[in-house]
Amino acid sequence: MASATEPVLECRGISKFFPGAIALDAVDLTLYPGEVHALLGENGAGKSTLIKCLTGAYRRDAGKILLDGEEISPGSTQDSQKLGIGTVYQEVNLLPNLTVAENLFLGRQPTRRGLISQRKMLTMAGDLLAEFGLRINPAEPLSAYSVAVQQVVAIARAVELSGKVLILDEPTASLDRDEVQLVFSVVEKLKARGLAIVFITHFLDQVFEISDRATVLRNGRVIGTRELKNTSQTEIVTLMLGRQLEDRIQDRAPARTGDTLIELKDFGKRGVMEPFDLTVRKGEVVGLAGLLGSGRTETAGLIFGAIQADQGEALLEGRKIGLGSPREAVAHRFALCPEDRKNDGIVGDLSVRENIILALQARQGWFRPLPKAKVNELAEAYVKALDIRLASLDMPIRLLSGGNQQKALLARWLATNPVFLILDEPTRGIDVGAHAEIIALIEKLREDGMALLVASSEMEELVAYSTRVIVLRDRRQVRELKGDEITTSNIVAAIADDTMAEAV
């Protein structure tokens, strides 16, 4: 490895304090040129805080950052960019309605006689992207391309601007397999150029595929740094969790499903989702599988009234009901944990306590406030039951890590005592520990007789907890798998070509 050379970036004893919490406690991190360095840890371990300190988004409270041996103190992300540290986030923060070329050169467009030279910019953009192995038309708006391409454009921009250290903060979280390969090929090229790359992800496979070394954080401290070729996944996971992960291999509980709860007939909305039939019984977890854009989220949204169906009918225990708005759905004791937690789930500035009681309070109406004692009792009970880790119930929910936010949202809906719980990507962007807990919770709720509908892109996960799996493709239901048919390979087959593989 490149360890013989001088480090390009060194962090020594970085600390950051938040009111009531120590986010980083004397963290050391060393990056060598030409290495991909994975930064691992559960949500809330301090990865994001460390990155924010490095990029100047936060001001560190103690410690030193050395870049090429010189001490630096970036005051803003622009500062750090100029110094040579570029960052690319999961959500591409470029301007989708500008062209690819404009996005690449925004703020430093090539000019000719004081005017922006479009032609020169397009040529330069084309050349630049070709270096990254991307042959696309730089004159098209960025939004015309997939998230993966946008991600590569963001990387190209960051590398052009900075060029010493590249931080990739969950760049692959919303990408499919092929797209991940595209991003990785770019990462390999940059590595060969001698950049130091910090790679943050929740996907351990990807870590081992691309990274040379990994540093594991837990509770704001560095637990260890490992050369990955001499390390096993189990060791890394153990470092992250501080305990051996239990083996959660499924012994499928016998399907003792109860009476029919929900029946949807010919339910759908033109242009959004083909009409479909769906029956969910009590004590049943129906999994929704399919690629991105196959209609998983749309199905969930239609049933919850977030998207208004324009045809079909819905029956709850045999009685016809309307599902015109989330309000109506909530009144029928439906619940939905949405896919986009930040925009559709949490109310960021409200406290964790308020977020937990929000749906229950909304159902009660504003003029019947929940008594303070009841609110505290509920919130505390769910924080304990779901093991939500927080400094205080009064802290804004946005300060929680992703996994804890998701648990708080589950708490919000469980507090309404729902009969039907819809979960859309319940484990997206969540650390390993919380992931396991949420899966266990789904199983427990099913055993308690709740009806659940879970949409997920994680097939292993669906296989683990579903009693039935419905496979969607192109906004249509294409296959229903039951009992022993539920295997990853069958789901994949159904998604892929509509011919079911032999049941194993």
Partner 1 sequence: MSAHVHSTFRRIMPQLIILIAVLFLNFLVFPDFFRIEFQHGRLFGNLIDVLNRGAPTALLCIGMTLVIATKGIDLSVGAVMAIAGAVAASLVVDGHSWQTALLGALAVGAICGLWNGVLVAVLRIQPIVATLVLMVAGRGIAQLVTEGTILTFVNPGLIHLGAGTVIGIPTPILIWIALGLLVTAVVRKTALGMLIEAIGINESSSRLAGINSRVLIVSVYLISGFCAALAGVIVAADIKGADANNAGLWLELDAILAVVIGGNSLLGGRFSILASLIGALIIQSVNSVILLSGMPPEFNLVIKALIIIAILVIQSPTVKHALYILRASAEPLPSDPIKEAKESPQ
- At 67 the three-state DSSP class reads strand
Among 106, 347, 496, 503, binds partner 1 (CB under 8 A): 347
At closest approach, how far in Å is the CB of 413 from partner 1? 9
Are the beta carbons of 351 and 391 closer than 8 angstroms?
A: no
The number of angstroms, rounded, from the C-alpha of 140 to the middle of its chain's C-alpha atoms is: 28
* Number of residues in the chain: 504
246-285: which residues touch partner 1 (CB under 8 A)? none
Stretch that binds partner 1, among 146-154, 193-201, 213-221, 344-352 (CB under 8 A): 344-352
Query: Cβ of residue 123: shortest distance to partner 1, in angstroms?
Result: 37
304/420 with CB nearer partner 1: 304
Neighbour count for residue 483 (Cβ, 10 Å)? 10
Binding mask 407-426 for partner 1 (x = CB under 8 A): -----x--------------
CB atoms within 10 A of CB 282: 19
Specify whether the CB–CB gap between 463 and 432 falls below 8 A.
Answer: no
The yes or no reply on residue 350 touching partner 1 (CB under 8 A) is yes
Q: Which of 2, 12, 18, 440 binds partner 1 (CB under 8 A)?
A: 18
Q: Which residues contact 330 (CB under 8 A, 6 or more apart)?
A: 359, 362, 363, 416
Q: Which stretch binds partner 1 (CB under 8 A): 143-151, 186-194, 212-220, 392-400?
A: 392-400
Is residue 178 within a helix (H) or strand (E), and if so which, with residue range? helix 177-193
Q: Which is nearer to partner 1, 94 or 346 (CB)?
A: 346
Residue whose structure tokens are 């004791």 = 333
The secondary structure of 270-322 as a DSSP string is TTTEEEEEEEEETT-EEEEE--TTSSHHHHHHHHHTSS--SEEEEEETTEEE-
Binder among 345, 403, 418, 426 for partner 1 (CB under 8 A): 345
334 DSSP assignment: E
Closest CA to 199 of 218, 183, 179: 183
H-run or E-run covering 151: helix 147-161
Q: According to the binding rule CB under 8 A, does residue 366 interact with partner 1?
A: yes
With binding defined as CB under 8 A, does residue 302 bind partner 1? no
71 binds partner 1 (CB under 8 A): no
77 binds partner 1 (CB under 8 A): no
Question: In the complex, what is the shortest distance from the CB of residue 48 to partner 1, in angstroms, rounded to a whole number?
Answer: 8
Q: Are strands 111-112 and 115-116 parallel, antiparallel or unpaired?
A: antiparallel
Does 394 interact with partner 1 (rule: CB under 8 A)? yes
Q: What is the DSSP string of 231-260?
A: --HHHHHHHHHSSPPP-----PPP----SE
Q: Which of 391, 474, 483, 503 binds partner 1 (CB under 8 A)?
A: 391
Question: Which of these ranges, 109-117, 232-240, 345-353, 425-433, lies near partner 1 under the rule CB under 8 A?
Answer: 345-353
Q: What are the angstrom distances between the C-alpha of 139 and each of 32, 94, 102, 119, 179? A: 36, 15, 8, 10, 22
316 interacts with partner 1 by CB under 8 A: no
Give residues with Cβ within 8 angstroms of 318, minimum separation 6.
Answer: 260, 263
Residue whose CB is less far from partner 1, 17 or 208: 17
Q: State yes or no: residue 370 binds partner 1 (CB under 8 A).
A: yes
One of 110, 126, 396, 449 touching partner 1 (CB under 8 A): 396
For residue 420, the number of C-alpha atoms closer than 13 Å in the C-beta half-sphere is 22
Q: Who contacts 142 (Cβ-Cβ below 8 Å, separation ≥6)?
A: 94, 95, 96, 97, 98, 99, 100, 103, 150, 153
Residue 144 makes contact with partner 1 by CB under 8 A: no
Pick from 316, 348, 338, 287: which is nearest to 419 by CA? 316
Contact between 358 and partner 1 (CB under 8 A)?
yes
Nearest distance, CB of residue 234 and partner 1, angstroms: 33
Among 2, 57, 223, 385, binds partner 1 (CB under 8 A): 57
Is 348 a binding residue for partner 1 by CB under 8 A? The answer is yes
Strand partners, 351: 396
Stretch that binds partner 1, among 28-36, 126-134, 319-327, 484-492 (CB under 8 A): 319-327
Residue with smaller CB distance to partner 1, 182 or 388 = 388
User: What distance in Å separates the CA atoms of residue 17 and residue 24, rounded to the nearest whole number?
Assistant: 7
When the beta carbons of 330 and 442 are compared against partner 1, the nearer one is 330
Can you tell me which of 192, 251, 319, 367 binds partner 1, judged by CB under 8 A? 367
Report d(CA 89, CA 172) in Å as an integer: 9
- Minimum CB distance to partner 1 smaller for 58 or for 184: 58
Q: How far is the CB of 89 from partner 1 (least distance, A)?
A: 10
Applying CB under 8 A, does 20 fall inside the site for partner 1? yes
Nearest approach, Cβ of residue 367 and partner 1 (Å): 5
Size of the site for partner 1 (CB under 8 A): 46
Site stretch for partner 1 (CB under 8 A), options 125-133, 134-142, 249-257, 348-356: 348-356
Q: Does 62 participate in binding partner 1 (rule CB under 8 A)?
A: no
CA distance 298 to 303: 9
Task: Give the binding site for partner 1 (CB under 8 A).
Answer: 17-20, 52, 57-58, 304, 306, 325-327, 329-331, 336, 338, 343-350, 354, 358-359, 361-370, 391-392, 394-396, 398-399, 412
